[in-house]
Structure 1
Amino acid sequence: MTASARIRALALALPEATERVSHGESSWFVRKAPQFVTMADHHHDDRLAIWAAAPPGAQADWVSRDPTRFFVPPYMGGRGWIGVYLDVPSADETEDEKFWNDVADVVEDAYRTVAPKTLIRKLDEDSR
């Protein structure tokens, strides 16, 4: 499965999440609130990444853990959003699985950051 397909599956599994094109890229929303956006070759950097809404402190935490994969995105970084490079090769299958588990956490955190409380409760109920 491609990185884009994995991101799409993670995002659309969340209650009332939708995909739309915004600024020329696939973006995911919870109702009208932007959850995250994919960036392919942004400013000709030849990278594939997502920029995601994040709770307070998460940006610094992720970047300090692995700055080769996590970064402060331009424009939205000042609002606490986190960038995740999706094109960094993994050393092995175990590392790849751990990375995608981390990406799933970032996607869920983005959702929880922008979703209304009623949808967060629904997510919590559905995951029991």
Structure 2
Amino acid sequence: MAKAKAAKSPGQRLRDICLGLPEAIEQETWDLPTYRVRGKIFAMEVARDGRLAFWCKGLPGSQEILVGADPERFFVPPYFGPKGWIGMWIDRKADWREVAELVRRSYRQVAPKKLAEQV
């Protein structure tokens, strides 16, 4: 009989999405896992208010749209929020396809053109 596969934690699922992108690396900064491409952060995992979230760079206007449409899932992160970054809770029934899309969009904004074109 085959053993049941253990479910991945939200942090591991986020890590898999981020590290699946070309030349992406994980680097701990501010005691947090950050995900980078050629030195530029495109996502980070954050424990806040006893919950797990991730922050990523948003396209112009997307922060207002997402937070306005669903403030239970999305928020304006401190420090990075004024620069258009988006916070999303991932500890309770996250839509992982949506997480992956937000991460890919963020990556494409900071990655060199040739790498961004691969995503």
Q: TM-score, normalised by structure 2?
A: 0.88
| Unmatched runs of 5 consecutive residues or more in structure 1 | 91-95, 124-128
Note the aligned Cα RMSD (angstroms): 1.2
Deviation per residue, 1:58-104 (Å, 9 max, x gap):
1112212311111100110000000011123x3xxxxx5xx111111
- Where 2:25 maps in the other structure, the secondary structure is strand
Question: Is residue 62 of structure 1 aligned with residue 66 of structure 2?
Answer: yes
- Where 1:75 maps in the other structure, the secondary structure is coil
Alpha-carbon distance in 2 for matches of 1:36, 1:114: 10
Percent of pairs with identical residues: 41
Letter in 2 for 1:108: R
Higher percent of residues as helix? 1
- Where 2:91 maps in the other structure, the secondary structure is coil
Mapping of residues 68-107 of structure 1, within 5 Å: 68-88=72-92, 90=93, 99-107=95-103
Letter in 1 for 2:106: A
Question: Is residue 24 of structure 1 aligned with residue 31 of structure 2?
Answer: yes
Q: 2:116 — aligned with what?
A: 120
Alpha-carbon distance in 1 for matches of 2:28, 2:57: 17
Deviation per residue, 1:17-62 (Å, 9 max, x gap):
100101001110011111111111x3xx111111111111111122
Q: 1:12 — aligned with what?
A: 19
Letter in 2 for 1:56: P
Displacement over 6 Å in runs of 4+? none
Q: 1:93 — aligned with what?
A: none
Higher percent of residues as strand? 2
Letter in 1 for 2:85: W
Instruction: Choose from 7, 10, 22 the match for 1:3.
Output: 10
